Amino acid sequence: MSNTPTPHIGAKLGEIAETVLMAGDPLRVKFMAEKYLDNPVLFNQVRGMLGYTGTYQGKRVSVMGHGMGGPSIGIYTYELFNFYDVQTIIRVGSAGALQESLHVGDLVVATGACTNSNYAAQYELPGTFAPIADFTLARRAVEACERMGYRHQVGNVMSSDTFYTENAHNDRWQKMGVLAIEMEIAQLYMNAARANRHALGICTISDHIITGEATTAEERQTTFTKMMDVAFTLV
Q: Which residues are catalytic?
A: 207
Mapping DSSP onto H, E and C, the string for 69-116 reads CHHHHHHHHHHHHHHCCCCEEEEEEEEEECCCCCCCCCEEEEEEEEEC
Burial of 147 (0-12, 13-18, 19+ CB in 10 A): exposed
Judged by DSSP in three states, 117 sits in coil
What CA–CA distance (Å, rounded) separates 118 from 145? 33
Beta strands in 102-217 (DSSP E): 107-115, 152-159, 180-182, 198-208
CB-based contacts of 19: which residues, under 8 Å, 6+ apart?
59, 60, 61, 62, 86, 87, 88, 89, 90, 234, 235
Picking from 69, 80, 64, 46, the residue whose alpha carbon sits closest to that of residue 115 is 69
Q: Determine how β-strand 107-115 pairs with β-strand 198-208.
A: antiparallel
